[in-house]
Amino acid sequence: MKTKIFISVIVLFLCLVFGLKDVFADGLIIVDPPGGLHRPHPKPEALSVKYHRVQVNIENGIATTSIDQVFINNYDVDLEGTYIFPLPEDAAISNFTMYVDGKKMKGEILDKDKARQIYEDIVRRMKDPALLEYVGRNMFKMRVYPIPKRGEKRIELVYQETLKYDAGIYKYIYPLNTEKFSPKPLEEVTISANIKSKIPVKNVYSPSHEVDIKIEEFEATCGYEAEDVKPDKDFVLYYTVSEKDVGLNLLCYRTGSEDGYFMMLLSPGELKEKIASNKDIIFVLDTSGSMSGEKIKQAKEALKFCINSLSKGDKFNILSFATGVNKYKDSLVSVNNKSINEALDFIDNLSARGGTDINDALSSALAMITDSQKPKMIIFLTDGQPTVGVTDMKTILKNLEGSNTANARVFVFGVGNDVNTHLLDRISQTHRGLTEYVVPRENIEIKVSSFYRKISEPILANISLDFRKIKTKEIYPVTLPDIFKGTQLVLLGRYDGNGPTAIKLTGYLNGKKEQIIYEGNFPSENKENDFIPRIWAMRKIGYLMSEIRLRGDNKELIDEIVALSKEYGVMTQYTSFLVLEKDEDYKRWGIHSNEASKMIKEGKLSVDAMKQTTGARSVSSSMDISDLKGQLVVEAPRRATIKHIGAKTFYQQENGSWLDSKFSKGLSIKDIKYLSKEYFEILKENPELGKYFAIGEKVVVVFDGICYRITE
């Protein structure tokens, strides 16, 4: 459930000017005007927050949230007010700490009906609908006095809740959305979560924030921290548990008659028992003259790390290439002390000189790999373009496709800006791998060794999924990668049909076919997990852009990108240019045509940039598209004229109103006067509308087949 948390205070000035008894901030502290003050007040500001720290401890689905926050009063008068905290559903407060003259203050808990009256009353008097997101939630309330002049007021709150659990998935939400109330950035925000479970933890995932995650079988930790920021969305965390070697968990979103969206989380977690598959792996290192100096030194150290990290049962080889190809061995060798020491000596003797023969290097490596069900990998590192041997891109790609009869995965590292990004991206895409770019001043050793850790222990190779009676489509990634220990595979797609179904995961462990059956349920309606459609759209746009970039313009693909961009509010440099073709379009989507013209002249929106094969812009374009294709977190809109609310996108019009992207001509419209009796009656009947009405005083929203138009 989405809620919000306090951060700041709307200051005394507003109380005096508008004659309001109470003023609110996100959080909330409602400030009363102090008596005896008759002089004009300075320009209004909200009280700043020194820090906002949250510690979450979750044990077997029971979450204890501890909040520590300090408000700062920058004014020359003491302030008095009411502290309000919108509570998560079924939460129980176990501790609230605020001392006055050594005495601990007490508060009260209000049910959602009484809380709604307070929220609505504040909205009426402030004529600001932002609080409507809280409608339908319980409330903790307490008087706060004094907030000392030029001083601080520290508040600590602890509450417990039982997390919602469904088919192996726990969901936790912390209300961190402060954009509407805090005029100043927070000095510090930290959220730390510790998870303990009797069942092995497989995935920890946040669709709202970039978090650091560590999983250790029955325990996990994650954290988010930032400085000088304005949090603009709630902190959402999912974690999954499973007794199976590979956990599979399903999240769905579906409304109306359209196809649903699903997200699937696949992960073995951090298994203590070694069940990883043995692998065949070949390292192919560019030793041409352009790799001389620090590049070759870092690349050699990265390669040594990989060799020392090989597992018993693996087979490997090393190829260096420049004008010609230099092999450590003529074929794959088993991992043992002798082969490792010999390989390290081979690496020490490598030096950088000569041209770049990419075709022969990769063709030779692929020819060494036999056709088996073991995981098969090529790690390919280069800093240049093909300059000797076969140099034509189409011919190289054709030759490599013919050589890879064993369907090996090819993972590519492009070093610097002089690489042919179209060639490298096509190689990794065709051969089911991934391209990573090491930009200038990045450390090659750190980047390569970090990536190798993720793929060093494959669990299942050549995987496939069978959803039985449920029809699935448009699944991303398009080609399913292998599953590795300690990593998670996140799939997003659309589905038709509904109901419980068996989901069969098939893969190969050490060449032996394995099948795991899971119970899944695809609902006919589910309004939770409303982040899924936008992440799915971002991934799809990434794949469409990749196709255009690598294979040329295609009107159907471009039209699809434009449609997705408009509906889901996913504005990339490329899609922004494509969407805005006329002056009215620029106005409609919140961008001035003169601004776009300037960007086009600077080359920032040029379609030609997509066609560049080398240079910093080409590398940047490839990295941006790769990020979209692997998107995991919902990004905030890039323009103030676009807002994401749940699964919906709103665009600001010239008259200041906000228009739902789902609006179309021909819909019947229900006009409602802002703050009227009917306005609040509709919110009482449909509390979910609160988060949409909270956008502003003028809103057009399509909800359950009805178009509501809020007017002043």
The CATH number assigned to the domain holding 66 equals: 2.60.40.3680
Residue 512 lies in a domain: no
Q: For the chain, what percent of residues have pLDDT higher than 90?
A: 48
Residue 587: per-residue pLDDT:
52
Spatial contact of 9 and 65, defined as CB atoms under 8 Å apart: no
Taking the C-alpha atoms of residue 197 and residue 494, their distance in angstroms, rounded to an integer, is 31
In a shared domain, residues 561 and 485? no
Higher pLDDT among residues 505 and 76, named by residue: 505
Higher pLDDT among residues 152 and 161, named by residue: 161
> What is the sign of the dihedral through the CA atoms of 353, 354, 357 and 358?
positive
Tell me if residue 109 falls in helix, strand or coil.
Answer: strand
Query: Total structural domains in the chain?
Result: 5
Token pair, residue 37, equals: 């003050």
Q: What is the dihedral of CA 193, 194, 199, 203, to 10 degrees?
A: 40
Q: What is the CATH number of the domain that holds 321?
A: 3.40.50.410
In a shared domain, residues 143 and 231? yes
Residue 7 lies in a domain: no
Taking the C-alpha atoms of residue 650 and residue 641, their distance in angstroms, rounded to an integer, is 8
In a shared domain, residues 378 and 410? yes
pLDDT of residue 9 exceeding 50: no
In the β-sheet with 658-660, what is the strand arrangement from edge to edge? 642-645, 648-652, 658-660, 699-703, 706-711, 669-673
Average pLDDT of the chain, as a whole number: 83
Tell me if residue 392 falls in helix, strand or coil.
Answer: coil
In a shared domain, residues 146 and 291? no
Token pair, residue 59, equals: 């044990």
Higher pLDDT among residues 579 and 501, named by residue: 501
Residue 15: per-residue pLDDT:
29
| Average pLDDT, integer, range 281-288 | 96
Q: pLDDT tens, 530-568? A: 999 999 999 999 999 998 888 877 778 888 888 888 889
In a shared domain, residues 654 and 671? yes
Peptide bond into 88 cis (omega under 30): no
Taking the C-alpha atoms of residue 89 and residue 137, their distance in angstroms, rounded to an integer, is 7
In a shared domain, residues 84 and 224? yes
Residue 519 lies in a domain: no
Residue 110: per-residue pLDDT:
83
Taking the C-alpha atoms of residue 572 and residue 562, their distance in angstroms, rounded to an integer, is 10
Higher pLDDT among residues 615 and 503, named by residue: 503
In a shared domain, residues 300 and 213? no
Residue 232: per-residue pLDDT:
76
| Average pLDDT, integer, range 645-668 | 88
Given 605, 629, 653, the domain boundary residue is 629
DSSP H or E stretch at residue 435: strand 434-438
Residue 510 lies in a domain: no
Spatial contact of 632 and 531, defined as CB atoms under 8 Å apart: no
Q: Are strands 642-645 and 483-484 parallel, antiparallel or unpaired?
A: unpaired
- Helix ranges, 456-527 (H): none
In a shared domain, residues 359 and 304? yes
Given 580, 608, 629, the domain boundary residue is 629
Q: 673: burial class by Cβ within 10 Å (0-12, 13-18, 19+)?
A: exposed
* AA identity, residue 222: C
Which of 538, 533, 561, 557 has the alpha carbon at shortest distance from 627?
538
Residue 51: per-residue pLDDT:
82
Residue 349 lies in a domain: yes
- Structural domain including 559 reads 532-629
Which of 373, 447, 360, 453 has the alpha carbon at shortest distance from 408?
373
| Average pLDDT, integer, range 108-118 | 82
Spatial contact of 430 and 397, defined as CB atoms under 8 Å apart: yes
pLDDT confidence bin for 6, thresholds 50/70/90? very low
In a shared domain, residues 470 and 366? no
- CB within 8 A of 58, min separation 6: which ones? 64, 163, 170, 172, 193, 194, 195, 196, 239
pLDDT of residue 73 exceeding 50: yes
User: Helix count (H) and strand count (E) of the chain?
Assistant: 17, 38
Spatial contact of 49 and 70, defined as CB atoms under 8 Å apart: yes
Residue 162 lies in a domain: yes
Spatial contact of 191 and 224, defined as CB atoms under 8 Å apart: yes
Tell me if residue 32 falls in helix, strand or coil.
Answer: strand
Q: pLDDT tens, 568-604? A: 988 776 666 554 444 554 454 444 445 544 544 443 4
pLDDT of residue 195 exceeding 90: yes
Residue 26: per-residue pLDDT:
38
| Average pLDDT, integer, range 637-643 | 82
Tell me if residue 295 falls in helix, strand or coil.
Answer: helix
Residue 226's CB is within 10 A of a number of other CB atoms, namely 15
Spatial contact of 63 and 161, defined as CB atoms under 8 Å apart: yes
In a shared domain, residues 483 and 538? no
In a shared domain, residues 94 and 230? yes
Token pair, residue 591, equals: 């961008």
In a shared domain, residues 599 and 656? no
What does the DSSP 8-state code read for residue 590? Answer: T
DSSP H or E stretch at residue 69: strand 62-72
Q: How many residues does the chain have?
A: 712
Taking the C-alpha atoms of residue 240 and residue 197, their distance in angstroms, rounded to an integer, is 10
Spatial contact of 452 and 235, defined as CB atoms under 8 Å apart: no
Token pair, residue 17, equals: 């000017």
pLDDT of residue 300 exceeding 70: yes
Residue 326: per-residue pLDDT:
95
pLDDT confidence bin for 185, thresholds 50/70/90? confident
Token pair, residue 67, equals: 């909040």
Q: What is the pTM of this model?
A: 0.85
